[in-house]
């Protein structure tokens, strides 16, 4: 559950006085999310989500919250941050840095349709273009440097065959050079549970706390690996084609992107294979959550390695 820091209506009274969003009607903890504390805050003006950051510090937040505000100002479906009377998005409550955002309409969809994948692809491309005028910079904290540094402590804990395959995947990616591919700000974690869908429409992309500067196509690959793959690692061709069509209706892929696409799909799976292996073998002290299945992403890599058609 995701309420790590308790907030009462009494705590919220003076906090809301620093905003222009009316008076409190209802306060309700949100039981999703595993990193931060989240509450629904309903006021006389509307419905908001209040996040108390449990790990990120106030210094680290501007890249993410200014990005969300930038995207909202460009009409991208994201939860728009609300500034306080001091004209700051980040405030503080009960010893934690906080962010208030407008509620976005919609729900998480576990089994998306091709039409929904099309809309997600379109909004992702629009987000990539709208973020081109964003001035913040953030290195990918889960890029090649990270996985090359993290994997060695995992090899001895894995089966010999898995360790061999992981070494081979790392070596394959180390041979690549993506420097010429179009890049900019990416979401980097656009799984189904980070998108609220309102019917077929994108109500909002949420959880931008892995956003960073990297290759656009890598973001599309991360998205496809989650939105279009089944539990067995198999990719549904209709959904994959729809996602790519939605994306390319806004931003057409270049020749060098099409050439890099098969290996970027594997890179996008590798990143989550390694992070899930790490969470599985090296759980943080006191962590109570169930680690997600790392081998799901190994199966996706296997499926991509055997593939002839990449839906382009």
Enumerate binding residues for a second copy (CB under 8 A).
19-23, 44-46, 48, 69, 72-77, 80-87, 100, 102, 119, 122-123, 126-127, 129-130, 132-133, 201, 249
Beta carbon of residue 129, minimum distance to a second copy (angstroms, whole number): 6
Task: Give the residue with the Cβ less far from a second copy, 204 or 233.
Answer: 204
Query: Secondary structure of the chain in the HEC alphabet?
Result: CCCCCCCCHHHHHHHHCCCCCCCEEEEEECCCCCCCEEEEEEECCCEEEEEECCCCCCCCCHHHHHHHHHHHHCCCCECCECCCCCCCCEEEECCEEEEEEECCCCECCCCCCHHHHHHHHHHHHHHHHHHHHCCCCCECCCCHHHHHHHCHHHHCCCCHHHHHHHHHHHHHHHCCCCCCCCEEEECCCCCHHHEEEECCEEEEECCCCCCEEEEHHHHHHHHHHHHCECCCCCECHHHHHHHHHHHHCCCCCCHHHHHHHHHHHHHHHHHHHHHHHHHHHCCCCCCCCCCCCCHHHHHHHHHHHHCCCCCC
Task: Give the residue with the Cβ less far from a second copy, 94 or 102.
Answer: 102
Task: Give the residue with the Cβ less far from a second copy, 15 or 261.
Answer: 15
Task: Give the residue with the Cβ less far from a second copy, 158 or 250.
Answer: 250
Beta carbon of residue 41, minimum distance to a second copy (angstroms, whole number): 11
Beta carbon of residue 212, minimum distance to a second copy (angstroms, whole number): 20
How many C-beta atoms surround the C-beta of residue 97 within 10 A?
20
Residue 177 contacts residue 260 (beta carbons within 8 Å): no
Beta carbon of residue 63, minimum distance to a second copy (angstroms, whole number): 17
Task: Give the residue with the Cβ less far from a second copy, 12 or 267.
Answer: 12
Beta carbon of residue 196, minimum distance to a second copy (angstroms, whole number): 14
Beta carbon of residue 173, minimum distance to a second copy (angstroms, whole number): 31
Task: Give the residue with the Cβ less far from a second copy, 185 or 274.
Answer: 185
Task: Give the residue with the Cβ less far from a second copy, 200 or 279.
Answer: 200
Beta carbon of residue 228, minimum distance to a second copy (angstroms, whole number): 21
Beta carbon of residue 189, minimum distance to a second copy (angstroms, whole number): 20
Closest CA to 156 of 277, 286, 283, 300: 277
Task: Give the residue with the Cβ less far from a second copy, 16 or 166.
Answer: 16
């Amino acid at each position: 559950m995701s309420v790590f820091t308790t907030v009462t209506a009494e705590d919220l009274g003076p906090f809301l006085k620093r905003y222009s969003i009316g008076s409190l009607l209802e306060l309700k903890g949100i039981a999703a999310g595993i990193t931060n504390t989240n509450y629904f805050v309903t006021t006389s003006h509307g419905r908001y989500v209040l996040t108390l950051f449990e790990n990120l510090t106030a210094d680290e937040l501007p890249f993410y919250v200014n990005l969300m505000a930038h995207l909202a100002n460009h009409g991208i479906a994201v939860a728009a941050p609300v500034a306080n009377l001091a004209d700051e998005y980040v405030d503080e409550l009960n010893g934690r840095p906080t962010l208030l955002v407008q509620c976005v309409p919609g729900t998480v969809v576990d089994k998306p349709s091709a039409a929904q994948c099309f809309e997600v692809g379109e909004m992702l491309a629009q987000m990539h273009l709208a973020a081109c005028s964003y001035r913040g910079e953030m290195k990918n904290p889960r890029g090649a440097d990270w996985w090359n540094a993290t994997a060695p402590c995992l090899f001895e804990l894995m089966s010999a065959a898995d360790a061999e395959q992981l070494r081979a995947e790392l070596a394959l990616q180390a041979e690549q050079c993506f420097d010429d591919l179009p890049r900019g700000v990416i979401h980097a974690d656009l799984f189904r549970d980070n998108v609220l869908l309102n019917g077929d429409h994108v109500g909002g992309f949420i959880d931008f706390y892995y956003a960073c500067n990297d290759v656009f196509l890598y973001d599309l690959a991360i998205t496809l690996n989650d939105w279009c793959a089944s539990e067995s690692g198999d990719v549904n061709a209709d959904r994959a084609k729809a996602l790519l069509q939605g994306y390319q209706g806004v931003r057409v892929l270049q020749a060098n992107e099409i050439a890099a696409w098969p290996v970027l799909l594997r890179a996008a799976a590798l990143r989550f294979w390694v992070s899930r292996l790490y969470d599985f073998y090296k759980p943080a002290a006191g962590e109570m959550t169930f680690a997600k299945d790392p081998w799901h992403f190994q199966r996706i890599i296997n499926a991509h390695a055997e593939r002839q058609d990449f839906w382009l």
